[in-house]
Amino acid sequence: PSPSERACLAQSPDMSIMAGNQMASPSYGGVVKSWNGMKGFGFITSDGFGGDVMFSKKDLAEDLREVQGKFLQGKAVAFDAAEGVDGRMKATAVQLVMVEGQAVAGMIKSYSEKNGYGFINSTAMGGEDLRFQNRDIPQAAMGANIIGQLVTFQVKTRPDGKMMACQLQFQSGQTAQKFSQMGFPDGMVHTPSPKGFGKGFGKGFGKGF
């Protein structure tokens, strides 16, 4: 890991504090045994059932719905269950459980490039908003509007005891690629010009240049 990654992981939160911040807990707990993002379904192993319980993409918390690859596999989850049309039990309202050292998911709620920070909302953190710094977002997204984007991130504890998000990554590969294609070679991104700027900018530009 890079120095910044090591610093982030070294400051992971106290799980005893986290336990008190959870929202109304779902009925069951388990571990994701498998997840097929292409087909949109997976299975959870839970002591509360005799076998594996199936879940689909629409049963995931909204801030998890673009996770790729094997991100979900092996992750601890909490969920409710309901009987499906085939009579089998199916997992619903699936959300990640915060585990020390593991990445979680969330949605960027706000971000100010001018102030250099923003906030992420995450169901895995009990719906709490976590602050992040501009140095923690992917370089190719610097200068772009990232509000509403789904991300994965690590959690660290600040010196004042508050938790903070770091090492943000876009969940969707298409989103990451879009920002990368928008960016300059140095990673900066084209941003809209101020209103009215350029209306007459090029009309006489260079006439006497």
Distance in angstroms (rounded) separating the CA atoms of residues 76 and 18? 14
What are the percentages of helix, strand and coil residues in the chain, rounded to 5? 20, 35, 45
- Comparing CA positions, the residue from 104, 91, 97 lying closest to residue 56 is 91
pLDDT, tens only, 101-124: 889 999 999 999 899 999 999 999
Nearest to 76 by CA among 124, 114, 15, 21: 124
What is the model's pTM?
A: 0.71
Reported as a pLDDT band with limits 50, 70 and 90, residue 26 is low
Q: Which of 173, 175, 62 is nearest to 109 (CA)?
A: 62
